[in-house]
Amino acid sequence: MTFTSDSASTSFSSAFNYSTQPGDVVSSSIAVFKSLSVEDQLAVLWYAYTEMGRSITPAATGAARLQFAEGLLQQIKQMSHAQQLEVMRDLAAKRNTQFSRSYGVLGINTKLAFWYELSELMVKGIVVPVPAGYQISRDGSQVLSTIIGLDFGQQITVLRKVVSDMGIDPFAD
In terms of residue numbers, what domain contains 87?
21-164
pLDDT in tens, 34-64: 999 999 999 999 888 877 665 554 454 555 5
10 within domain boundaries: no
For residue 6, count other CB atoms closer than 10 A to its CB: 7
8 within domain boundaries: no
Q: What is the dihedral of CA 110, 127, 43, 119, to 10 degrees?
A: 40
Q: Tell me the pLDDT of the chain averaged across its residues.
A: 81
Share above pLDDT 70 across residues of the chain, in percent, rounded to a whole number: 78
Q: Which residues contact 49 (CB under 8 A, 6 or more apart)?
A: 56, 115, 116, 119
6 within domain boundaries: no
Domain total of the chain: 1
Q: Which residues contact 107 (CB under 8 A, 6 or more apart)?
A: 64, 65, 68
Label each residue of 22-72 as H, E or C.
HHHHHHHHHHHHHHCCHHHHHHHHHHHHHHHHHHHHHHHHHHCCCHHHHHH
Any idea what the CATH number is for the domain that residue 123 is in? Answer: 1.10.2090.10
pLDDT in tens, 103-147: 999 998 899 889 988 988 998 999 998 888 888 999 999 999 998
**Length of the chain, please?**
173
12 within domain boundaries: no
Higher pLDDT, 129 or 93: 93
What is the reported pTM?
0.81
4 within domain boundaries: no
Higher pLDDT, 21 or 25: 25
pLDDT of amino acid 131: 80
145 within domain boundaries: yes
pLDDT of amino acid 171: 86
Q: Do 68 and 107 contact (CB within 8 A), yes or no?
A: yes
171 within domain boundaries: no
